[in-house]
Amino acid sequence: MATQKIGAKKLRVLPGFKLTLGFTLFYLGLIVLIPLSAVFIKTSTLTWAQFSHTVFSPQALAAYRLSFGASFFAAIVNAVFGLIVAWVLVRYNFLGKKLVDALVDLPFALPTAVAGITLATLYAPNGWIGQLFAPLGIKIAYTRFGIFIALTFIGLPFIVRTVQPVLEDFDPELEDAAASLGANRWQIFWRVIFPTLTPALLTGFALAFARALGEYGSVVFISSNIPMKTQIVPLLIMNELDGFQYAKATALAVVMLVVSFLLLLAVNVLQWWSNRYNTNNLA
């Protein structure tokens, strides 16, 4: 335990604890907690029967499976390929590297509606890419696969940008030490480099997953929006709103909120557990 400081007061850059805490809570409350609590309050106007009827209806269950499933797989694919992209960007030099680096941020910058329409046009049966697959009988746009592609597209930057700094800071001496101790290339990667990357990968995965879950604009254009098959939960919420059923819409939103929060909590616990041998942050 730290001993009491005797003598000179410790000088901090920003004002004292109470003020900072107060501001933090105020800001967080205003931007996050009050709007979210409005969702819960609106939902509480439903009876339990109405709530469970809305939230556990076959359409809703199918939508959860699609939303969570597609987001999960998109985030996993992004984790693998995002890692590879980050690796290439950090470890290699090539012509146009800065351009590629900037391109990675494109899914961030693009408005989701633009992304959706572009992907739908590209992968439609008469689109540039879609027409290559159409004779083989493979349909991309307006299927679940199309949704998966859209979610992969918008999630890529998260992984790359969280892994890149960690890779850049990675001490090359550790690799040399491992090689000198007789490790082959796979062992160096799996036992030395990858464990350091795991927290960053998990953070990126969580971010990509969370973004994909809430994605509406890019998915709604490339999806066929057929109930029970290709309806994502945000679309279901919009349908309720259009029928002026505000409480039912917030009920679905509450479910998404709670499940997303639990999943992110799990990812955070996983991250903390995998970080337990990291000696950089010993207090």
Partner 1 sequence: MKTFLKILLASSLAISASAKEIKLLNVSYDPTRELYTEYNAAFAKYWKAKTGDDVTISQSHGGSGKQAQSVIAGLEADVVTLALSYDIDAISQQAKLLPADWQKRLPNNSTPYTSTIVFFVRKGNPRGIKDWDDLVKPGLKVVVPNPKTSGGARWAYLAAYAYALETYGHDDAKAKDFITKLYKNVPILDSGARGSTITFAQRGIGDVLLAWENEAHLALKEFGDDKFEIVTPSLSILAEPPVTVVDKNAKRHGTTEAATAYLNYLYSDEGQEIAAKNFYRPRNEAIAAKYAASFTQLKLVTVDREFGGWTKAQAAHFADGGTFDQIYQPQ
Q: Which residues bind partner 1 (CB under 8 A)?
A: 54, 57-59, 120-121, 124-127, 141-142, 220, 224-228, 238-245, 248
Distance in Å, CB of 228 to partner 1, minimum: 5
Please give the structure tokens belonging to residue 239: 């349908």
Residue among 26 and 246 whose Cβ is closer to partner 1: 246
Torsion over CA: 277, 266, 29, 234 (sign): positive
Residue written as token pair 């991250």: 271
Distance in Å, CB of 225 to partner 1, minimum: 4
Residue among 121 and 198 whose Cβ is closer to partner 1: 121
Distance in Å, CB of 56 to partner 1, minimum: 13
Distance in Å, CB of 259 to partner 1, minimum: 22
Distance in Å, CB of 236 to partner 1, minimum: 10
Contacts of 41 (CB under 8 A, 6+ apart): none
Residue among 238 and 267 whose Cβ is closer to partner 1: 238
A 10 A CB-CB count for 212 gives 29
Please give the structure tokens belonging to residue 62: 């199918």
Distance in Å, CB of 45 to partner 1, minimum: 14
Contacts of 191 (CB under 8 A, 6+ apart): 178, 183
| Number of DSSP helices (H) and strands (E) in the chain, helices first | 15, 0
HSE-CB of 146 using CA atoms within 13 angstroms:
32
Residue among 164 and 230 whose Cβ is closer to partner 1: 230
Residue among 160 and 232 whose Cβ is closer to partner 1: 232
**Pairwise CA distance, residues 184 & 191, whole Å:** 10
b/e burial code for range 64-87 (CB count within 10 A of at least 16 → b): bebbbebbbbbbebbbeebbebbb
Distance in Å, CB of 74 to partner 1, minimum: 21
Residue written as token pair 């901090």: 12
Residue 38 per-residue DSSP state: H
Residue among 201 and 220 whose Cβ is closer to partner 1: 220
